[in-house]
Amino acid sequence: MFEHKKIRTLDDFFEKLDGRPGRGVYFYRICGYTQEVGRFVRKYYQAAGRSGVILEGKIPNPNEKNLSYYQEIMGGDFQFSQGFISASLKKWLPRMNDGQRENVAASMYDALAELRRAGKNENMLKNAYIKFMCWLYYKFERMVNLLGNQDVPKILCEGEVGRYELTLLSILSRAGCDIALLQYRGDENYRKLDAASELSDCLEIPGGAGFPEGFCLGKIREEIQSALRMERLYGQRPQIQNCTNAWIAGKGLEDIRTAVGARGSDARFFYNCYCQINGVEDKLTYLNELYQFQLELKNAGRKLVIVNGGVPRPTMEEINGVRRKNYKDQEQMLMDLSGNISHTANSELQRLMIQAFLDVMRMEGERDAANLNQRTNKAVYLLCWLKRYQGTLFGGWKMPDINCFVHMGACRDGKEALFLQLLARLPVDVLILNPEGGEGSLQDDLLYQVNYVETLSVREFPQEETGAHMGTAAYHAERELDSLMYQDTGMYRERQYGKANVVVLQTMYEEIKLLWNEELKYRPNFSTVEGVVNIPVIFAKVSGVKGGQISQYWQSIRELITEDAYVVKNPPFIDASAENPMKAHAVEFLKNGKVHKSKIKSHPKYPYGYLREEAQDYILEKLQMLIDRKSIRGMFQNGTEYTVVSTILNLPMEIVRMIQKFDFTKKNPKLLYIHTGEAVISLEDSIVTAFLNLIGFDIVFFVPTGYETIEKHFNGRIMEEHQIGEYVYDLRTPTLESFPKWVDKIFKRGR
């Protein structure tokens, strides 16, 4: 049998058997922790995994199935003799050679003899013997044929062992294996079983402390398995790595201008810059500095990619070009998708691309626990963008080339941020220019940020091919004054806002006249929020004639007719039988409840192409809102939604001009609709009225008869109704616009 020996260093465990003093074995218990112990345990774990046994926790007692199988093979005989034990081992564990079997038999016999001296009777010895035999078969069979080899087999176990577990470990140790026992709670309980440390030695650990919280063999197993998975996932690693920003002086554009050869000379690294500049140092010189910057890079032979406002989304063609499958987990997804990365001209660069892609996607998986489909979509975007730009950035690449990628504007979303993180880990300078200041979506420990107080609105990077636009000092001074005067001051410049939402006011009838000529900014509930104006408007029906006074009734209407008002006196306003060239195309303009704006704008019969772009977008946005609200009866039931589309795309010229002229902070356009007869207002008039309300018109219906008019075509009550007096019938509408007010006062009668 083998003798226990003392170690000099932990590395002695890994010596060949013949290289050890007296060809001995080691059985040590470890009760404290240092970094050296941690390194040893991980190395020992791998050795035990190759040729030995790892016990996470206690050895479970043989169960009924184990005992039944033992009885079936070995029967119930037991003799307290080394010969009997040896013969039994030959049948029970046939892979052991004669020398191994004799060592195990002798060691087990000595252990049983010790139990006998401790007072155990024959039956107890038999039970202990059967337990040892079952443990050897079910837990240690894979290593018993390695006992005594030059590569000494190893057992690694943890926790507090019981008496019989310690006895079996001692049997195996003396038969020719090393054992390391990790005792997280110290040595006290072990000493109750082996007070003199005869069976094992306690490792002396100078400066040792308790084991870290959560330290266990299961965690080590997970770490090793993870490392193996990563090795399989990454494949052959690149020989060069990025040295990002470690060499820079922190001067932004100046750092990127630095010649590649002046950045560093270690052939193991490429030296790139990854920088975001927030704000501007000097408004007057900013654009000129950028213009000169890109010229200098081009003159130095460095390739440059510039994106303005955001990286254009991948096209369907690009997305379909990414080979992908259905995946069960992130590891499988990344391993498969990384196969799309190809740079046949330079295998080292291809390995760098794969490594950068896997690194950022794994970081994203740790940061964001989104579902696998969402992470797959992000990965596909990265692959599309990498393929799109790699020809320019890396075509003909060789060490130590560094080209440049410029993102004009802050990152708008997480996908863009991931792409910039990926590029920053490749041999390319990545520059994010955010002259307007504020925070974007990019968060990265590698990123260096330069911050300036001044800000400037810049839409495009100034380049030769796009035409550079640079402001004078007076221009920038005017922009600053503009910001001071028209931001949160209650003052507004001409057409400062391009979007508006409508708030319908609930008023008394008498308030209509008071509010009618008032600018919107002075009305109650007016506000501006994040570039959108909330405009309070009047949308009302006036039924009856106050006091039955006809002349006063017409006079009250005449007082509302301003230069911004459109008057409808002879309904219908929109003749349903009139030619409408948009009717034939309404079906193609509206799909699944969504207005196809681009298709409408590009159509040869689109009637609003001469308007300001903002006005066109505003009209189509409110058309979509009218569709979404389903204010008109019959929508998505009998095809009324197509009538809505064709009607709004064929408005009278006077109404279109009023919309084009409309400034959301000043007086709004008006619509007066006078209906004195019995006919119900047409569907088209109802559509136009509901639409103009969303645009921001003040709208008042005067109905002296009190009849139901526009309500017939509306879903629900969308306007306020004022009952002001008795109903009057058979009135004829006078010539309100040209009828002098003094004449009406003299004759006191209506027309």
**pLDDT averaged over every residue in the chain:** 89
Q: What is the pLDDT of residues 51-60, one digit of tens each?
A: 999 999 889 9
The secondary element (H helix, E strand) that includes residue 584 is none
If one compares 690 and 481, the residue with the highest pLDDT of the two is 690
**What is residue 741's predicted lDDT score, i.e. its pLDDT?**
42
**Sign of the torsion angle spanned by Cα atoms 555, 559, 564, 565:** negative
Q: Which residues pair with 212 in a beta bridge?
A: none
| CA torsion through residues 444, 445, 447, 452, sign | positive
Flag whether pLDDT at 231 surpasses 90.
no
- Give the model confidence (pLDDT) of 655-682 as tens digits: 999 999 999 888 999 999 999 988 778 8
The pairing of strands 594-595 and 590-591 is antiparallel
Question: Could you tell me if 412 and 378 are in contact, meaning their C-beta atoms sit under 8 angstroms apart?
Answer: no
Tens-place pLDDT, residues 185-228: 999 999 999 999 999 999 988 888 889 998 999 999 888 887 78
Q: How far apart are the first and last CA of the chain?
A: 129
pLDDT of 527 > 90? The answer is no
pLDDT at 495: 67
* Half-sphere exposure (Cβ direction) of 646: Cα atoms closer than 13 Å: 21
Decide: 422 and 352 in contact? Cβ < 8 Å.
no
What's the half-sphere exposure (Cβ side, CA atoms, 13 Å) at 648?
31
Angle 330-337/372-394 helices, nearest 10 degrees?
30
Per-residue pLDDT at 459 exceeds 70: yes
Which residue would you say has higher pLDDT here, 69 or 458?
69
Q: Mean pLDDT across the stretch 264-281?
A: 94
Highest mean pLDDT out of 384-388, 497-501, 580-584, 610-614: 384-388
Residue 483 has pLDDT above 60, yes or no: no
Phi, then psi, of 532 in degrees rounded to 5:
-120, 135
Residue type, position 104, single letter: V
CB neighbourhood size of 722 (10 A)? 18
Tell me which residue of 258, 486, 444, 484 sits closest to 356, measured CA to CA: 444
What pLDDT score does 321 carry?
Answer: 94
- With vertex at residue 468, the alpha carbon angle to CA 467 and CA 473, rounded to the nearest 5 degrees, is 150
Considering only the C-alpha atoms of the chain, give the largest distance between any 2 of them, rounded to a whole number of Å.
141
Q: 586 and 646 in contact (C-beta within 8 Å)?
A: yes
Asked if pLDDT for residue 1 goes beyond 90, the answer is no
pTM, full prediction: 0.52
Q: Report CA-CA distances (Å) from 741 to 12, 228, 733, 738, 747.
A: 115, 94, 15, 9, 10
Q: For 116-144, give the DSSP string.
A: HHTT--HHHHHHHHHHHHHHHHHHSHHHH
Q: Which residue has the tokens 């410029």?
A: 406
Residue % of the chain over a pLDDT of 90: 64
Closest by CA to 140, choosing from 55, 41, 243, is 55
Q: Say what angle helices 613-629 and 640-648 make with each other, to 10 degrees.
A: 160
Q: Which two tokens stand for residue 451?
A: 């911050």
Q: Which H or E element spans position 238?
A: none
For range 648-653, the mean pLDDT = 93
Q: What is the mean pLDDT of residues 590-618?
A: 91
pLDDT, position 481: 53
The pLDDT of residue 708 is: 85
363 exposed, middle or buried (CB, 10 Å; 0-12, 13-18, 19+)?
middle
For 133-156, b where at least 16 C-beta lie within 10 A, e where not — what string?
bbbbbebbeebbbbbbeeebbbbb
Which residues, in sequence order, are bridge partners of residue 723? 543
Average pLDDT over residues 524-548: 88
